[in-house]
């Protein structure tokens, strides 16, 4: 019982960390596109909340996590408004790479927590890992669509969704070897975020068959 309570507390903390990290990445991306404060808040909200919302709908889990813990809505609004005001007033230009650092943290905690939530509801390891991927990447896809960009999550050959899926399977695998879910989630979230940070720092990516493509297809710019 104590272990279950500790796990639920960890999942709540990870959901909160993911919300803050993804809201910040969405707000930074929206500021780069010169959106007004309403647009910045909307993009921050979709980036932070869309993945968990879709996961909860697919798993028939209610209420939605941000409805049950509505204080996270105020956090997202504060991040959006604060980003719009501070970054504009100081004439600071957030770079594409700056957006990726909080995004890496959000990827790890959302993929791990989303997987464990699905496992707790009786999902198979494959379905649970896919729920982790859904939690981690849906917000980023909607962020790019809202900003009229091709979603780089699925089109830039970066190690992103692959890490989320592998990390989801890691959550299950560590638990299958006898570790507590608490250890499985925490260690997997750390591993996913660390691998994402390393892939950003060293430009690791999936094999790109579009380099030197004679058809004239232009590669996506690095994010």
Q: Is 211 domain-assigned?
A: no
Q: Is 30 domain-assigned?
A: yes
Q: Which domain holds residue 76?
A: 2-202
Q: Is 221 domain-assigned?
A: no
Predicted TM-score of the model (pTM):
0.87
Q: Burial code of 93-126, b = ≥16 C-beta within 10 A, e = fewer? A: ebeeebbbebbbbbbbbbbbbbbbbbbbeebebe
Q: Is 212 domain-assigned?
A: no
Number of domains in the chain: 1
Q: Is 150 domain-assigned?
A: yes
pLDDT per residue as tens, the chain (223 positions): 556 788 889 999 999 999 999 999 999 889 888 899 999 999 999 999 999 999 999 999 999 989 998 999 999 999 999 988 887 665 555 666 667 888 899 999 999 999 999 999 999 999 999 999 999 999 999 999 999 988 878 777 889 999 999 999 999 999 999 999 999 999 999 999 999 999 988 988 888 765 555 444 444 444 4
Q: What is the DSSP string of 34-55?
A: T--HHHHHHHHHHHHHHHHHHH
Give the DSSP letter of residue 71.
Answer: H
Q: Is 145 domain-assigned?
A: yes
Q: Is 74 domain-assigned?
A: yes
Is 185 within 8 Å of 7 (Cβ atoms)? yes
Beta carbons within 8 Å of 203's beta carbon, 6+ residues apart: 222
> Using only C-alpha atoms, what is the Rg of the chain?
17
CA distance 139 to 48: 6
Q: Is 92 domain-assigned?
A: yes
- Taking only the tens place, the pLDDT of each residue in 105-126 is 999 999 999 999 999 999 999 9
């Amino acid at each position: 019982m104590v272990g279950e309570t500790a796990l639920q507390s960890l999942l709540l903390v990870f959901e909160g960390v993911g919300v803050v990290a993804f809201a910040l990445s969405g707000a930074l991306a929206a500021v780069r596109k010169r959106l007004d404060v309403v647009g910045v808040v909307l993009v921050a909200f979709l980036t932070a909340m869309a993945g968990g919302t879709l996961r909860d709908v697919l798993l028939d889990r209610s209420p939605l996590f941000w409805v049950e813990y509505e204080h996270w809505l105020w956090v997202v609004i504060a991040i959006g408004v604060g980003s719009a005001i501070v970054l504009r007033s100081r004439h600071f230009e957030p770079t594409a790479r700056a957006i990726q650092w909080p995004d890496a943290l959000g990827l790890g905690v959302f993929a791990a927590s989303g997987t464990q939530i699905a496992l707790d509801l009786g999902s198979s390891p494959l379905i649970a890992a896919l729920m982790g991927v859904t939690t981690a990447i849906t917000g980023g896809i909607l962020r790019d669509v809202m900003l009229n960009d091709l979603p780089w999550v699925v089109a830039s050959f970066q190690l992103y969704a692959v890490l989320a899926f592998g990390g989801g399977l890691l959550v299950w695998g560590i638990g299958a070897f006898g570790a507590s879910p608490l250890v499985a989630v925490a260690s997997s979230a750390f591993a996913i975020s660390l691998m994402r940070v390393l892939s950003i720092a060293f430009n690791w990516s999936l094999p790109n068959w579009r380099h030197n493509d004679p058809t004239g297809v232009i590669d996506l710019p690095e994010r």
